[in-house]
Chain A
């Protein structure tokens, strides 16, 4: 545990899947130096195999970590290293010159065949028409309170910063053994083949230290991301996670105690055989439980109850918080935020 923790809440109802966050991160950090294939932040459509492909079945995390609030054990689970072409996807270049400035019918194509990518299953989801469903799941390093990557590193290159809980890999110590990659149950650490070491989301600490929120959060056009100190009772993270309990960690069963939280997605009703709405949300409840744990039902109930208040013209503090009237108010990075 660090003495303080900077946390992020991503509202999946406000995410529109536009990928602006993905590209904000890319141009801020991963468009160079062997990171081209990496997406420290990406958005995948759920349900699906996700990115890297099948990450949810690639191991990692803590053994016997299925307890409440993810209070995992102390033994790391084995994990699988994703493959470059099949699981991450090659950062393809395109034959602009041949297709556009040379003779012939050669179409514009990736110069290396693309097999997968960070958004490969865009809007696919699951179900059958007209009851198909999908939603967007933005993912980045969870800057876990109990990081499996940190524990797995044989070089002690990974640390969790005392002052803000940001988990970092020391590039001068890392030797690229990739135990961290396998240990992360979210597969959010990437091996940089050019530098010969591992890298991952740094929670934009160089920005945060200057009072500029993370690129993915600040540039989120859907205004889906809140950032605040987890112990700041006026901050969105504390209020949504602890006070309203509508923001939940992803796959808490891995026991790493993530510090990125999600407001789970509402959905329109399914249709019965006659085409009449049933009143049952089209995203199956058990699927959401599998992602966000058993608290998801109560969270959705709370959201629906508070929306109903607004429908009736009543006040709702929760809804006002999620609406976020001022973009700037979604980020409380000030270190003077109230202590518990």
Chain B
């Protein structure tokens, strides 16, 4: 296995409260990993910590063989990580095209696979809305824009928080299709979502977080065969 991201013994703190307790995760190149668990179990904090947005972290985080635990978000982004945050974080005062253009940069190995034209090809809806301001988009369009913007940085690993939260079923299906395209490009993904059934169909591996620690790490089928874990930690 060609390891891209390796996290070991990661603790994260917000002030005095400890959110992550010794998390170990590894992601291979091109691998698609689902990160699941109830609200408040540390999923978002884990993604933010990987991106360099949690100042108080202990443990080891290496990405493509580089220690990134103490690195700044912009350095981590340039190393090949991209984040699609919860709540999208699109720039409301910029148009769709501007949101994508401002993010454009070559990947860590200099490739420019993702261009404005390719994003518009992937999301024709965004092309129709290209001159609209970020504040005029629907939730689904905002999510497409956020994913498109992350792809414009030509990442090796893309972190997607709450991929389909608040989206209509049809729109959510488009997002799942998009994850398939991302995988086809050989980009690794860590995706957080509440829809375990849909996730289980597409991902290679599932990581279950509970109270800031890894409860389960394995193939989706192995978790499906343990209903007591799903019941306790997802309420499924």
Asked whether A and B interact, the reply is: no
Which A residues fall within an 8 A CB radius of B? none
